[in-house]
Structures are given as structure tokens and as C-alpha cells.
């Protein structure tokens, strides 16, 4: 009994799980097509078969990317390539981040691939403490990128946000959250922006209310829970400030914020 307690307390900090990749989305810079018109698409890196591979065209900065559909702290990334032409991928860089756009400046580098060996699993551990939603493998050379199979371990970050699939004005939405001891969601950084975005994807309306209100006469934006507006993610064409607007996040893709008439009836996101 004591021994097992000791055992678990010793291994607990290093506990990680293999991430289920079947609900994720992959993409890559281009798709190589062979003489039989077989397309070497990005999903072939997570199909469970080490003999079936992705392959981009030969180009500078070829990349492969996975959207984990959640925020994870990544503890290891394993890559298997069967021996064949272009299968040694030394020099590739692995990035982890929150940016829906491919942007190496915004992302954190996990590791640069070195000493890559074919026909075995190559394990990359980074520094064991990098979080994000997107993992990108970039080849900063003029080479095609080949990946036969990728496995990822990490810990999923619990989200404090919950989408309410009811259509309400901004004021009604705020009351609804508060009646349940919650508040309309505040976004303070790229991490919370991503967690809120993941909830917004489930909405039945094209936009969802955030806890970001506007005082017209002062032209002042405020989070309903009094946090300072330090991080901003307005759509480029979100418009000039007019009266009676509040901020809503777009359901799709980049999850930019828009200024919407506060009387519109939208789904909304509460924070626990
Ligand atoms: C990933 O996690 C699985 C358990 O889910 C474990 O068996 C495997 O050894 C882990 N891989 C690494 C590289 O730590
Ligand atoms: C992924 O696979 C697991 C186990 O086979 C299953 O429980 C889960 O529902 C699947 N998820 C998706 C999004 O398909
Ligand atoms: C990439 O990210 C950096 C840092 O977040 C940002 O300043 C820059 O505008 C981004 N570039 C693009 C093209 O989005
Ligand atoms: C991981 O990083 C976060 C934020 O960057 C930091 O707060 C935390 O202490 C780090 N944890 C470990 C175990 O290094
Ligand atoms: C909310 O509005 C959307 C879009 O107009 C609609 O599809 C959905 O059924 C509405 N939901 C409810 C609960 O009324
Ligand atoms: Ca495969």
C-alpha cells in the first residue's frame, strides 16, 4: 500500500497520455501525386499504418500540420519513416502554438530533428513544457517532406468555458451566465482565445457573444469581469466603433472578434 502510494507520487508529474488523433485535422504545404495519380495526403501520417506516408512536392519550407482540436501540453512527439527516398528528415523543425495561421514567429519551437533513423520510432521530447493547439513540422530546405506515421503524447488542458446554444441578446446572455454563477467569457491571452475558439466551433449561430462590452460615450471597451483589455483579436474589417455594440467571436476558422449590435440574438460562452 505504502509502496504503491510512493510509486504513484513519483510517477505522477511525468504522467502523459497518448493523444487520440482520430478527431483531429491535418494539412500540408502541397500534395505529391505519383504516376498512378495516388495522392500522398496529410492524413496518411496519422492513419495507423507506418508503411503509408504523406509526401509534399519538392519546395522550400515544406510543412505538415495537425490541429489537435484541443489545447495540450506536449510531452513527446514520435515519428516513424520507412526507408525510402526523402525519408531522412534531419533539419526539420517542430513548432507548437496557438496561431491558426502558419507563423513560426508566433509559435514555440519544440525541437529540431537530428540523427533521424528510418524504420524505427524517433522520439522528440522538447523541454516537456510547451502547450498549444497546433503542431507544425517545417523543412527549411528545398526538399519534399515525408512523414509515414506520427504519434503524440501530452496532457489535455481543462477548459473553463462552456458554449450555451441558446439565442440571446448580449444583456440576456450576461444575465444567463451570472444566474448560473458564471460570467460571460473573458479572453486574456492566446491560450484563452484558443479555448474559447474551440467552444465557438460548436455554435449554431455564426458568431458568439463574449464578455466584452462597449461604453459608447467614452468609446471604451471593457471585460465584464473587470480584467484589462490586454490581448485583442479584432477582425481586420471589424468596423469603426458605433453605439450599442458588443463583441462577438466568429464561429469559424480564425475566431476573430467583431463589433455586433447588442440586440442580435446569438449563442454565447460562459466561463466557469
Ligand atoms: C506515450 O504514452 C503511452 C501511454 O499512453 C506510453 O505507452 C508511451 O510510452 C508514451 N510515449 C513516450 C515517448 O513517452
Ligand atoms: C476516436 O476513437 C475512439 C476509440 O476508438 C472513440 O472512442 C472516439 O469516439 C473517436 N473519436 C472521434 C472524434 O472519432
Ligand atoms: C506572426 O506572429 C507575430 C508574433 O505574434 C506577429 O507579430 C506577426 O504579425 C505574425 N505574422 C503574420 C503574418 O500573421
Ligand atoms: C510550464 O510553463 C508554464 C508557463 O509557461 C509555467 O507556468 C510552468 O511553471 C511550467 N511548468 C514546468 C513544470 O516547467
Ligand atoms: C439560434 O439561431 C440559429 C441561427 O438562426 C438557429 O439555427 C438555431 O436553431 C437557433 N437556436 C435556438 C435554440 O433557437
Ligand atoms: Ca501512415
Summarize pLDDT for 11-33 with one digit per residue, the tens.
444 557 899 998 899 999 999 99
Q: What is the pTM of this model?
A: 0.86
Percent of the chain scored above 90 by pLDDT?
Answer: 81
Write down which residue in 138, 156, 174 finishes a domain: 156
- List the domain range (segments joined by +) for residue 83: 14-156
Which residue's alpha carbon is at the smallest distance from atom 4 of ligand 5?
205
Residues with CB under 6 A from ligand 1: 16-18, 76, 78, 123, 153
At 253, the pLDDT band (50, 70, 90 cuts) reads confident
What's the distance, CA 175 to chain centroid? Answer: 30
Give per-residue pLDDT as tens, 214-244.
998 888 999 999 888 999 999 998 767 688 9
Q: Which residues of 173-189 are buried (b: 16+ CB within 10 A; e: fewer)?
A: bbebbeeeebbbbbbee
Q: Measured from the CB, is residue 101 less than 6 Å from ligand 3?
A: yes
Write down which residue in 156, 188, 221 finishes a domain: 156
Q: What is the CATH number of the domain that holds 169?
A: 3.10.100.10
How high does pLDDT run on average in the chain? 92
Q: Is the dihedral of CA 197, 199, 201, 206 positive or negative?
A: negative
- Mean pLDDT computed over 73-101: 95
207 C-alpha to center of ligand 2: Å?
28
- Whether the predicted pLDDT of 2 surpasses 60: no
- Whether the predicted pLDDT of 103 surpasses 90: no
- Mean pLDDT computed over 53-79: 96
> What confidence score (pLDDT) does residue 127 get?
78
Which residue's alpha carbon is at the smallest distance from atom 11 of ligand 2?
23
> What confidence score (pLDDT) does residue 15 get?
57
Per DSSP, the three-state class of 35 is: coil
23 C-alpha to center of ligand 2: Å?
7
231 C-alpha to center of ligand 5: Å?
30
Measured from the Cα of 20, ligand 2's closest atom is 1
Regarding whether 185 and 252 lie in a shared domain, the answer is: yes
Substitution site in 17, 21, 22 for ligand 2 pocket (most atoms within 8 Å of beta carbon): 22
> What confidence score (pLDDT) does residue 156 get?
94
What's the distance, CA 110 to chain centroid? Answer: 15
75 C-alpha to center of ligand 4: Å?
13
User: Does 9 fall in a domain?
Assistant: no
Regarding whether 216 and 123 lie in a shared domain, the answer is: no
The count of other CB atoms within 10 Å of the CB of residue 265 is 14
Write down which residue in 156, 190, 210 finishes a domain: 156
- The partner residues of 172 in beta bridges, in order of sequence, read none
Amino acid at each position: 500500500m505504502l509502496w504503491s502510494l510512493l510509486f504513484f507520487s513519483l510517477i505522477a508529474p511525468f504522467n502523459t497520455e497518448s493523444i487520440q488523433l482520430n478527431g483531429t485535422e491535418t494539412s500540408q504545404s502541397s500534395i505529391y501525386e505519383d504516376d498512378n495519380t495516388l495522392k500522398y495526403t496529410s492524413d496518411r501520417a496519422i492513419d495507423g499504418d507506418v508503411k503509408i506516408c504523406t509526401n509534399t512536392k519538392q519546395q522550400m519550407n515544406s510543412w505538415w500540420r495537425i490541429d489537435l482540436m484541443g489545447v495540450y501540453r506536449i510531452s513527446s512527439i514520435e515519428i516513424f519513416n520507412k526507408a525510402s527516398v526523402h525519408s531522412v528528415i534531419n533539419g526539420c523543425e517542430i513548432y507548437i502554438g496557438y496561431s491558426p495561421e502558419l507563423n513560426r514567429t508566433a509559435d514555440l519551437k519544440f525541437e529540431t530533428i537530428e540523427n533521424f533513423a528510418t524504420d524505427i520510432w524517433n522520439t522528440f521530447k522538447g523541454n516537456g513544457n510547451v502547450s498549444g493547439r497546433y503542431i507544425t513540422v517545417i523543412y527549411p530546405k528545398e526538399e519534399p517532406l515525408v512523414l509515414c506515421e506520427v504519434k503524440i503524447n501530452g496532457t489535455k488542458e481543462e477548459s473553463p468555458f462552456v458554449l450555451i446554444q441558446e439565442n440571446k441578446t448580449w444583456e440576456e446572455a450576461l444575465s444567463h451566465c451570472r444566474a448560473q454563477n458564471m460570467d460571460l467569457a473573458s479572453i486574456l491571452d492566446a491560450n484563452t482565445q484558443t479555448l474559447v475558439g474551440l467552444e465557438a466551433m460548436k455554435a449554431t449561430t455564426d458568431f458568439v457573444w463574449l464578455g466584452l462590452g462597449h461604453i459608447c460615450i467614452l468609446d471604451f471597451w471593457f471585460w465584464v469581469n473587470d480584467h484589462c483589455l490586454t490581448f485583442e483579436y479584432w477582425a481586420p474589417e471589424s468596423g469603426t466603433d458605433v453605439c450599442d455594440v458588443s463583441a462577438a467571436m466568429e464561429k469559424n476558422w480564425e475566431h476573430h472578434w467583431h463589433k455586433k449590435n447588442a440586440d442580435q440574438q446569438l449563442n454565447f460562452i460562459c466561463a466557469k
